Amino acid sequence: MDTLKFYIDGRWVEPAGTARLGIVDPATEEVFAEIRLGTREDVDRAAAAARRAFAVSSETPVAERLAWLDKIIAGFRSRLPDLAMMMTREMGSPITFATERQATVALYHFEEAARVLAQYRFEEPMGAGIVRREPIGVCGLITPWNWPLNQVASKLAPALAAGCTVVLKPSEIAPLSAMMLAEIVDEAGVPAGVLNLVNGDGPTVGEAIASHPEIDMVSFTGSTAAGIRVAKLAADTVKRVAQELGGKSANIILDDADLDAAVIAGVHACNTNGGQNCQSPTRMLIPRASRDAAFAAARRAIETIRLGDPQDKATTMGPLVSRAQFDKVQELIQSGLDEGATLVAGGPGRPADLNRGFYVRPTVFGDVTPDMRIAREEIFGPVLSIISYDSEDEAIAIANDTPFGLAGFVQSKNPARARKVAERIRAGRVYINGAAFDRSLPFGGYKQSGNGREFGVFGFEEYLEVKAILGATG
């Protein structure tokens, strides 16, 4: 793979500009690859190729699109170990997690897109005519570094299934797994111009995609601040905007839950992927009387986390993705100390036995109040805030006292009670008692956590327009 080229119109081509960016292995802090940074001219070329290809892809029969997806799935499976290792190198995900979760969940999205496409009714009679659903057009996909392949797949798979064409900008911090996926798409025989990949930063390539007149829709995953910028740029061309943004999810442990088990599971959920997850349950809400027992359980959970070389299969937590992310998390850990939270486990600085890499000590704060920075800001690192409450109503009020609304979590031995609490949480997805991931159910947020949905049929329909044809039959 020539990492210095872009995939445009079915070929790996030389970028218009010459600027380069080193890709840093966050475990060693060493540059191990380079990419070129794209320009608006590169986006123009990619959008033009996608526009030409849309004339073909939009008319491609479902059976042919299913054949593309089947070949992509086969190619993905055959290269899954390589994709996992690439993510370990580019963003520090432990190899076991990268294989079993990062790469495998990305594969699920292509399998789910194929399942939805095979069953989907694009046309139905209604009233005095018919309603058709047609591909929206050229889609700009802007994806983050924390799940560098999963977030690409969750957008690309339904876009291809729907008959759209794509201009993709993966994160410039972790772009290499997405480039490998472009190779897989190319080898699957997907027509030239259906997928185009341009590397680059947000202010240049991302903004060019969001504002481009030849792009009909932009799907963005990232910070709320960047999402606001994307929406403003997209407004001038009145394109559809789908956004999956920040989160500050609450994990309500009710007074009838198995406290020990719930706290331990909540700590591990918060630390998954180094805490670099938008839906991480970073605010743990506990009954005030359970304070000491919860702190003790949290300490025991933290002691089982093994930091180290992400290429070691025994490692359960690797480094954060970059120096900038490391510095941000350290600053927020210090703010927790400065504002008077009780340090239950972890704390500032690197682990004592690691002298290089962007490693952060998994940290738990107790006696956190809802107004503290660590309780309000998305930290995007392994930092948990434990907040005490006195009543169920107060717990729900604290959970909803946030500008975000991506996810929520409820723990209770009474399923009916847990369901009632879940219904009162203002979030797009709520997990009851550690419910497992389901790729068919919609994922997305309320409030400043975004708009639109991904996964399953809801994610598929984001890439379709609705047309009424009056007077038509059948």
In one-letter notation, the amino acid at residue 420 is K
Q: Where are the beta strands (DSSP E) in 62-199?
A: 123-126, 129-135, 138-142, 165-169, 195-197
The pair phi, psi for residue 230, each rounded to 5°, is -60, -45
CA atoms of 259 and 244, how far apart (whole Å): 31
Q: Answer yes or no: are the C-beta atoms of 408 and 248 closer than 8 Å.
A: no
- Residue in the block written with tokens 């399953």: 456
Report d(CA 212, CA 68) in Å as an integer. 27
3-state secondary structure 400-432: HCCCCCCEEEEECCCHHHHHHHHHHCCCCEEEE
Alpha carbons 214 and 37: distance in angstroms, whole number: 21
Dihedral sign for Cα atoms in the order 304, 279, 142, 65: positive
How far is the C-alpha of 464 from the C-alpha of 254, rounded, in Å?
41
Strand 217-221 and strand 138-142: pairing? parallel
Q: 10 Å Cβ neighbour count for 144?
A: 24
Would you list the DSSP string of 14-44? --S---EEEEEETTTTEEEEEEEPP-HHHHH
Residue among 204, 209, 463 at smallest CA distance from 196: 209
* Catalytic (active-site) positions: 244, 278
Q: How far apart are CA 372 and CA 330, in angstroms?
A: 15
